Amino acid sequence: MRNRLAIITALLALALPHAAGAHPHIFVDSRLEVIGGADGNVQELRNVWRFDEVFSSSVLLDFDKNSDLKLDEEELAELGETMRTSLGDYHYFTTLTVNGAPVGVRKPDVIHVSLNEGQILVFFAVKPEKPMPLKGRLTFGVYDPTMYTAIDFPTDKDLVAEGPAFAKCQHKVVRPDPDEVLSQNSSTLTDAFFNDPTGTDMSKMFATRLELTC
């Protein structure tokens, strides 16, 4: 049994009932725009997340302080700040690498939140914590290391690199097959991978990602 509190705390500081197994219970449609700067470095990564209706409803109930069945500007701002603070422990679900070496991200200045047709929409940008030159092999992805949240990119066009600096790079969207990943790595995936509620770094193997060769 896994405690949903671990991931919900990271997302919204909610405490929800227990659930079993390392499989998703929150579903997000995502878009990621990787922006290249004029200096030849990655400038920032712009994220758009749309949460599923069930989870959005639970968020509405928790943050609707005046019980008017909607989220006003003040309540949305509180939700955004909660996410900005708590998601830092999970690196804002962002994974960056340069030639296989991970690169961290800085805390965003603000996370914007809206409620549209019953679904929570989240908008924010993060920057690499150190210069990330457009050289070699770079990867960009968004994934939940606990595997509790399924983050999906509906089409390959939802993972894009923008800016003239990317013109010299080859672009590829990689969508790993979970069965193939498990089969190819069965000898290295330990019980901790499946049972640790905080997740492990190995879960990035399942993440849809944008790969650039520059």
Write the pLDDT tens digit of every residue in 52-96.
999 999 899 889 989 998 999 999 999 999 999 989 888 999 999
Give, in degrees to the nearest 5, the angle at Cα 77 between 113 and 12.
70
Q: Which of 35-39, 83-87, 110-114, 199-203 has the lowest mean pLDDT?
A: 199-203
Q: Please, are residues 103 and 79 in contact by the beta-carbon 8 Å criterion?
A: no
Give the span between the Cα atoms of 201 and 188, in whole angstroms. Answer: 12
Q: What's the whole-number mean pLDDT along residues 143-157? A: 88
* pLDDT at 178 (0 to 100): 65
In this model, does residue 194 exceed pLDDT 60? Answer: no
* pLDDT at 5 (0 to 100): 37
Give the span between the Cα atoms of 155 and 135, in whole angstroms. Answer: 26
- Stated pTM of the model: 0.81
In this model, does residue 204 exceed pLDDT 70? Answer: no
* pLDDT at 23 (0 to 100): 60
Tokens of 200: 């492990």
Better-scored residue on pLDDT, 40 or 145:
40
Cα–Cα nearest to 156, from 138, 142, 141, 175: 175
